[in-house]
């Protein structure tokens, strides 16, 4: 059977308009449209409070995109009110890709994940990088304050169904690959950057940094 994205002569067929897209996907139902409630209600707040992991999507002024994983203890993302949440910026590699993008383009997308839960929470809005605010003290962990935080003004908020997690079997350990079959990050960095140090030494340094510089 020929793939719907491949023409009869084998060429790639590209969808170039929403009208054409809708002819293929079908129209969205009223319930799906209305599930975007545009604010953080009790269900959204409870989900965020239980979530230790959120993906932050940003884009720069040139359209270059970035998705950054953010990890906290459950409750580490502050919900200030129905339209405002705050994500602390913890120590990382100092590339600051997300922060640089937000300074140039405040539009962001968030995907909150709760381990073992197949549904996710999607939040879209406008962000700003904050260096001082009354709530910064509430972001202190193990005695350390973040130097920056990302404040998001919520514009869209809705729950996403379970199909992606069911297709991927993400929460089924018996379906996970053997970790030993994959290279370590130290091995990858040594090969990609042609580093002189051994992969073990790089992995040891990464492990120390991850243990001692979480906050």
Total Cβ atoms within 10 A of residue 180: 7
Q: What is the per-residue pLDDT across 4-48, written as a single tens digit (0 to 9) for each? A: 555 566 899 999 999 999 999 999 999 998 999 999 999 999 999
The enclosing H or E element of 42 equals helix 42-50
Give how far Cα 41 sits from Cα of 27, 71, 106, 149, 159, Å: 27, 22, 23, 22, 11
Q: Which two tokens stand for residue 208?
A: 């120390």
Q: What is the pLDDT at residue 4? A: 57
pTM across the whole model: 0.91
Which domains does the chain possess?
A: 33-167 (2.30.110.10), 177-212 (no CATH)
Q: What is the pLDDT at residue 185? A: 97
3-class state of residue 206 by DSSP:
helix
């Amino acid at each position: 059977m020929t793939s719907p994205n491949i023409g009869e002569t084998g060429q790639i067929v590209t969808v170039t308009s929403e009208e054409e897209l809708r002819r293929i996907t079908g129209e969205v139902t009223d319930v799906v449209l209305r599930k975007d409630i545009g604010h953080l209600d009790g269900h959204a707040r409870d989900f965020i409070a239980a979530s230790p992991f959120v993906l932050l999507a940003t884009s720069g002024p040139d359209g270059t995109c970035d998705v950054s994983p953010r990890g906290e203890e459950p409750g580490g993302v502050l919900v200030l009110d129905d339209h405002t949440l705050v994500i602390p910026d913890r120590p990382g590699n100092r590339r600051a890709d997300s922060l640089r993008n937000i300074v140039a383009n405040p539009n962001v997308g968030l995907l909150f994940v709760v381990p073992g839960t197949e549904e996710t929470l999607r939040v879209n809005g406008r962000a700003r990088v904050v260096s001082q605010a009354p709530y910064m003290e509430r972001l202190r962990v193990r005695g350390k304050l973040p130097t920056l935080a990302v404040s998001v003004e919520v514009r869209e908020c809705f729950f996403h169904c379970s199909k992606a997690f069911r297709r991927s079997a993400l929460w089924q350990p018996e379906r996970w690959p053997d970790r030993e079959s994959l290279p370590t990050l130290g091995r990858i960095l040594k090969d990609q950057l042609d580093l002189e140090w051994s992969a073990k030494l790089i992995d040891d340094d990464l492990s120390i940094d991850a243990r001692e510089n979480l906050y």
